[in-house]
Structure 1
Amino acid sequence: MAAAAAFFCALLFISVQHGVLGGYTRNDFPADFVFGAATSAYQYEGAAAEDGRGASIWDTFTHAGKMKDKSTGDVASDGYHKYKGDVKLMTETGLEAYRFSISWSRLIPSGRGAVNQQGLKYYNNIIDELTKRGIQVHVMLYHLDLPQALEDEYAGWLSPRIVEDFTAYADVCFREFGDRVSHWTILAEPNVAALGGYDTGEFAPGRCSDPFGVTKCTVGNSSVEPYVAAHNMILTHAAVVRLYREKYQTLQKGIVGINVLSLWSYPLTDSTADLQAAQRYKDFTYGWILHPLVFGDYPQVMKKAIGSRLPSFSKVQTELVKGTLDFIGVNHYFSLYVSDLPLAKGVRDFIADRSVSCRASKTDPSSGQQAPTQSMGDPHGLQLMLQHLKESYGKASSNDSVDDTDRVDYIKGYIEGVLNATRNGVNARGYFAWSFVDMFELLSGYQTRYGLYRVDFDDAALPRRAKRSARWYRDFLKSKRQPLQIAQL
């Protein structure tokens, strides 16, 4: 999957100049716009076999040696034991918000049934620590780490039975944490989860079929399963949102939404065919997930191209899924140039299906050279993407050094892109840097690092050390209208 190497760099929640901070400050953003950072359970917590936690599909996947470096998240950043120190660093950095995900298999080890009291205590402790320090709590209910027990029982996301079990799990979270949590993201990147887990096999549970799998899969069907998994994710999201709105929202006054991968696509040329291909790319990337949640059905171009392999919504399901968004969270890392390919060639497209017939690359059409490295990103593409989402739906670098200047430039540019989008009328509500500390990365283990704080994985104590990006972000969050020098943390 061409976008795989950049899935995990920065996060944005919605409803530059180099060197010192120049053209904007924190004060240029609305008062209710929040700046934060994020982590996810399997990548951050570690303590995989402690205090009653059950196995997730990522435990199985990594222990089968599926990572290139053969690593696992058994220890990861050891957030299970180090969260208090990390929250203290968040306070020193000036974070206004923090988003973390809950491990379903830590809270309910078998996926259904009894709640693990040690897991419940852990998440209550994190929430209390954040609340005590005045950091807004954002919770992701699911970040690709399904309980292995449900995968074994009925193949997880490939079965409609997942809707009932996930909704029961969400009910526990809303009931236990909702008095202190008012921002809920139900699913992380269902488009990525469907593709990585059921098309290319790069993500757990590692299902795919030849010739489309990037890894060697023993089970799966790349032409069908990604669409089935995504369909069940959409139905699950809708059921959980309906539960929250009917049972909790009036009292807790929170909001619920979803998070999707959303790269921007430029047409390679101004030909009609390439313009249509660029739009088709958008429909197959995030329209795939968002169109049903806003309008109740898949984009027409998907229905036409995929045919019977794309599941359909019944009339009841259409009404269930339509309008189940209070906000859209988007992950954006870089942009792509897209060109049309004739169907007759049968070339597999960038997204998920042979019949989409478009080609996407980071090639710069003006030079014929590869575009800048993924750490440079495309802030203007982010701005265009946000504006596109508003019109359509109404609503980083790998660096082991603490002197991550390129990461600073990346964050600067993306914050400016968000600011420009808000000035053009986009109702953006926050920016979350991925990630707060270096973690176990789902595509590359410990070989890549996206944290604001460096974790020394060679030291058993896993000490944290501020990178230049952490210092810049801290100074930005405390900035007024004068230029800032980078201070020491």
Structure 2
Amino acid sequence: MGFPKEFLWGASTSAFQIEGAYNEDGKGLTSMDVRSFKTSDTIADTKIAMDHYHRYKEDVQLMKELGMTCYRMSISWARIIPDGNGEINQKGIDFYNDLINELVANGIAPIVTLYHFDFPMALIEQYGGFASRQCIDDFVRYCRVCFENFGDRVKYWLTINEQMVITRMPLFQGIDEEDPIERTRLGWQTYHHMCIGHALAIKEYRKMHLKGQIGPVLSYPTYYAASVRPEDVLTAKKVEDMMVYCLMDVHYYGKHPQYLIHSLTKDGVMFKMEPEDEALLSDAKPDFIALNWYTTGIIGAYCDGEEINDDHAAFMPRRDRNIPGLAQFYLNPFTEYNEWNWNTDPVGLHYALLRMYERYHLPLMVVENGLGHRDVLSEDGHVHDDYRTAYLKGMVENMGHAIDDGVEMIAYSPWSFIDVLSSSNGIEKRYGIVYIDRTDSDPKELKRIPKDSYYWYQQCIKNNGNIKE
């Protein structure tokens, strides 16, 4: 069977991680700008990033040479509306029009994320960002501006990137509340407001009768139980529900699942809801589900204190990862890990696609999937990243197996096209299939150099995923 003829092959980036030009042509500051400036003495910041703002035509030509038929990108809200809810910045509109036109002219379908972490700082300063209900209307208005200006050429829209990550890392929204309970509650309040914003953005898109599709993009860490002990199996299910499925459940069914409400209420962090919220969340079933999928994890019931040394599980505990009172994370000896403790598990992708599809029966696209590594430019002027080629090969093979098992797939866009500014590790943690010759402290000339994985992926695309040697 294999990949369908119309399958889209691409790669991914996000605005704040590649564009640079952080204050050019009227762009406003974002939360990720400010966050990066705080660490700019040790890692690269968003001021230049990869200078995609000025070099997008060069980058698109590399995409065309690769054979890409889609490109997952994001629009910076603060480049379109600098203060988040005021006047529209025509120069921002012009930039994204030019980029989208360049993509379309080269046969590359844009898959556009509306909000990918870089929240307008002005809205955080005005009313606290998505922690305030006021943000819902401002987000929907921003989405409408994007639909009006780019919707004739963009056929795939993603609403909010990794909403659960934003929920669990409230600093992304400028929330620096010291009290841990209140900080967690505020994180879940932003979650609820983003759920409404997502639903209303879908409704707004459909009211405009544009000929495209729209859906969420979820971070999907997939979990296995540490043993067949019933407590471990139940714990793994509970964690996956709370980290993945609760979000997709509200997007699909139009209401928060009872298990989420029960858990948050028990922990004293339940968000506030208004009487009209259930109606706002309803009738916004997405057209597809986009997944950011990287790793699998091993989870068992929580072990307190030193008991972890005598745990029943056959796996080594990750002492840096647990959920007190609920879950303990373990390392999987059957998979390889990079230095950041992210493992490579291509069979896990097959498993994850089956689980997501059987639960919702919506078409899927994988829009992030990649391997972070300290890539080195060799003396011969090339980057020999055979580890990334092996990673991609395993993922493509297992996507093909999932398709053979009946999963409906639209696209594959691994992370990332070019090296990007990692949100936590600067340029040292590289994901791209195109190397950017810069360091954290020296942007140099930002030369683009295709890695060995680029040429492997080029043949993969040419053969529509048929990668048998």
TM-score bracket for this pair, using the shorter chain length:
0.7 to 0.9
How far has the Cα of 1:97 moved from its partner? 0.4
- Counterpart of 1:397 in structure 2 is 372
SS of alignment partner, residue 28 of structure 1: coil
Q: In structure 1, what is the Cα distance between the partners aligned to 2:35 and 2:372?
A: 25
Q: In structure 1, what is the Cα distance between the partners aligned to 2:467 and 2:136?
A: 51
Q: In structure 2, what is the Cα distance between the partners aligned to 1:245 and 1:409?
A: 41
How far has the Cα of 1:455 moved from its partner? 0.3
Counterpart residue identity of residue 15, structure 2 = A
- Counterpart of 1:423 in structure 2 is 404
CA contact (8 A) 1:455 1:464 kept: yes
Is 1:293 the counterpart of 2:268? The answer is: no
Q: In structure 2, what is the Cα distance between the partners aligned to 1:279 and 1:68?
A: 41
Q: In structure 1, what is the Cα distance between the partners aligned to 2:430 and 2:234?
A: 36
Q: How is 1:125-140 mapped onto 2 (pairs within 5 angstroms)?
A: 125-140=98-113
How far has the Cα of 1:30 moved from its partner? 0.5
Counterpart residue identity of residue 151, structure 1 = I
- Counterpart of 2:49 in structure 1 is 76
In the superposition, the TM-score normalised over structure 1's length comes to 0.83
Is 1:478 the counterpart of 2:451? The answer is: no
243 and 344 in structure 1: CA distance in 2 versus 1, 3 angstrom threshold: farther
447 and 206 in structure 1: CA distance in 2 versus 1, 3 angstrom threshold: farther
Q: Which has the higher contact order (CA 8 A, sep 6+)?
A: 1
Unaligned runs of 5+ in 2: 309-318, 363-370, 377-382
- Counterpart of 1:226 in structure 2 is 187
CA contact (8 A) 2:296 2:343 kept: no
Of 37, 47, 53, 2:21 maps to 47
126 and 352 in structure 1: CA distance in 2 versus 1, 3 angstrom threshold: farther
- Counterpart of 2:152 in structure 1 is 179
Q: In structure 2, what is the Cα distance between the partners aligned to 1:439 and 1:70?
A: 12
CA contact (8 A) 1:101 1:139 kept: yes
CA contact (8 A) 2:189 2:272 kept: no
Of 417, 423, 427, 1:442 maps to 423
Is 1:310 the counterpart of 2:294? The answer is: no
SS of alignment partner, residue 222 of structure 1: helix
327 and 145 in structure 1: CA distance in 2 versus 1, 3 angstrom threshold: same
271 and 44 in structure 1: CA distance in 2 versus 1, 3 angstrom threshold: same
133 and 236 in structure 1: CA distance in 2 versus 1, 3 angstrom threshold: same
What do you get for the CA RMSD once the two structures are aligned?
A: 2.7
- Counterpart of 2:349 in structure 1 is 382
SS of alignment partner, residue 114 of structure 1: coil
386 and 128 in structure 1: CA distance in 2 versus 1, 3 angstrom threshold: same
Q: In structure 1, what is the Cα distance between the partners aligned to 2:433 and 2:465?
A: 24
Of 446, 451, 454, 1:467 maps to 451
What CA deviation, in whole Å up to 9, does each residue of 1:409-435 have, x standing for no partner? Answer: 111111112111111111121110111
What CA deviation, in whole Å up to 9, does each residue of 1:54-95 have, x standing for no partner? Answer: 111112222233x68243111000000000000000000001
How far has the Cα of 1:206 moved from its partner? 5.9
- Counterpart of 1:14 in structure 2 is none
State how many pairs are aligned: 437
SS of alignment partner, residue 10 of structure 2: strand
CA contact (8 A) 2:303 2:328 kept: no
In the superposition, the TM-score normalised over structure 2's length comes to 0.87
- Counterpart of 1:17 in structure 2 is none
How far has the Cα of 1:483 moved from its partner? 6.7
> Between the two proteins, what is the percent identity of the paired residues?
31
- Counterpart of 2:368 in structure 1 is none
Counterpart residue identity of residue 372, structure 1 = Y
How far has the Cα of 1:445 moved from its partner? 1.3
The 10-residue stretch of structure 1 (84-93 or 458-467) with the greater mean CA deviation from structure 2: 458-467
Of 59, 64, 67, 1:86 maps to 59
